[in-house]
């Protein structure tokens, strides 16, 4: 329970359905480690958010706990976030959090409390397919809020013990439910889109704080063209991402985009929009969801970032477990470090981390 409207309504719905509910708020980070305190209330780690979650439990007569998982969160999410940028990649911390924290770490707490299930306020659905003998992750009914992309790393064992009370509802319906339940303190809370542990939304500042020798490891370097000609100076390769256009400080007479990042040479390649178009990618860490594997080529819809609308593709695994995805129509700014998630209708086939763009 983050103290927001979604998880609050999810808890109350389960209580009304007859479940014995235990509310959990996870303390994942603090300002002393992340910095960037700008007075904004973000995420689930402020005192106000924790009190909002606790107030729901008090109103509906269920227990609420706060658990400190800062060490686990730091190891799996914050450290990985930092190391990926330092490797010239663009990370997705929400997937890491869902895989290793909100499910794996939280399931351990559920076992300690003798709970049968964990439930969240995510906009997603899960069903058991009798024919496939597998638990299948599905898109949430509200296409504008669907969060299935960020949950491809969850295991079959954990999906078997997961409830998504909001999966068949829309955001307006949930806000109305919060009002009807008398949860006025959360009913109109705005959604948060910042990275929770970067409250000022300034990841450059965050990286500089986390990497003491940043200037030595990744100081100013060369902007280069596709042919290798030096065309300017950048502020350090970790501060850029594939497809970035704004904030480059270049005047080339045409719209310029970041098309490649080389951490070893501290160079950032610049090109035009067409230079971002690619047909294929390879990815690692594939987690199959609907089917046990993808060793045979399968048509799918592939999403290459959270807010991507998706596009038709062919996907398959090779003997080394590498996932290959080929798009008939080229995609723009496929980015190493992000996830590719495959869909078959509303069902999630699985996902993996993008390594190479071909």
Backbone angles phi, psi at 334, to 5 degrees: -65, 125
C-beta separation of 102 from 76 below 8 A = no
Q: Reduced to 3 states, what is the DSSP secondary structure of residue 38?
A: coil
Two tokens, residue 217: 């490891």
Q: Cα(first)–Cα(last) distance of the chain, in Å?
A: 41
Closest CA to 164 of 183, 190, 139, 189: 139
* 53 sits in which H/E element: helix 47-59
What six digits make up the tokens of 156? 């079959």
C-alpha span between 105 and 175 (Å, rounded): 29
Which residue in the list 45, 94, 97, 115 is annotated as catalytic? 97
Which among 44, 94, 196, 313 is annotated as catalytic? 196
**How is residue 4 annotated by DSSP?**
S
Q: Look at residues 59, 70, 77 and name the one whose alpha carbon lies nearest to residue 23.
A: 59
Active site residue 115: no
Between CA 343 and CA 251 the distance in angstroms is: 40
Spatial separation of the C-alpha atoms in residues 314 and 252, rounded to whole Å? 37
- Exposed/middle/buried for residue 163 (C-beta within 10 Å: 0-12, 13-18, 19+): middle
Give catalytic residues, as residue numbers: 97, 196
């Amino acid at each position: 329970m983050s103290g927001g409207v979604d998880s609050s309504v999810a808890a109350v719905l389960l209580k009304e359905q007859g479940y014995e509910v235990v509310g959990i708020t996870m303390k994942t980070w603090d300002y002393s480690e992340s910095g960037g305190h700008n007075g904004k209330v973000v995420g689930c780690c402020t005192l106000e958010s924790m009190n909002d979650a606790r107030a729901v439990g008090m109103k509906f007569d269920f227990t609420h706990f706060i658990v400190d998982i800062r060490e686990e969160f730091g190891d799996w999410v914050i450290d990985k976030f930092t190391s990926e940028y330092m490797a010239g990649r663009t990370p997705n911390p929400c997937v890491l959090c869902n895989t290793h924290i909100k499910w794996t770490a939280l399931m351990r707490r559920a076992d300690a409390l003798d709970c049968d299930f964990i439930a969240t306020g995510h906009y997603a659905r899960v069903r058991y397919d009798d024919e496939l003998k597998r638990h299948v992750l599905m898109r949430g009914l509200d296409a504008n809020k669907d969060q299935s992309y960020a949950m491809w790393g969850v295991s079959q064992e954990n999906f078997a013990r997961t409830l998504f009370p909001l999966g068949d509802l829309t955001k307006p319906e949930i806000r109305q439910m919060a009002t009807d339940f008398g949860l006025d303190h959360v009913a109109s809370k705005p959604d948060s889109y910042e990275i929770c542990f970067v409250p000022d939304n300034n990841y450059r500042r965050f990286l500089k704080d986390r990497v003491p020798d940043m200037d030595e490891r990744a100081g100013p370097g060369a902007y280069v063209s596709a042919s290798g000609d030096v065309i300017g100076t950048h502020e350090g390769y970790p501060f850029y991402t594939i497809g970035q256009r704004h904030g480059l400080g270049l005047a080339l007479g045409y719209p310029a985009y970041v098309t490649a990042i080389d951490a070893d040479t501290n160079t950032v390649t610049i090109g035009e929009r067409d230079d971002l178009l690619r047909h294929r990618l390879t990815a690692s860490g594939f987690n199959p969801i609907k089917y046990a594997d993808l060793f045979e080529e399968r048509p799918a819809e592939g999403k290459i970032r959270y807010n991507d609308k998706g596009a038709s593709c062919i996907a398959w695994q090779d003997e080394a477990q590498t996932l290959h995805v080929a798009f008939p129509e080229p995609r723009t700014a496929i980015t190493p470090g992000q996830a590719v998630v495959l869909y078959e209708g509303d069902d999630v086939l699985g996902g993996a981390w993008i390594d190479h763009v071909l």
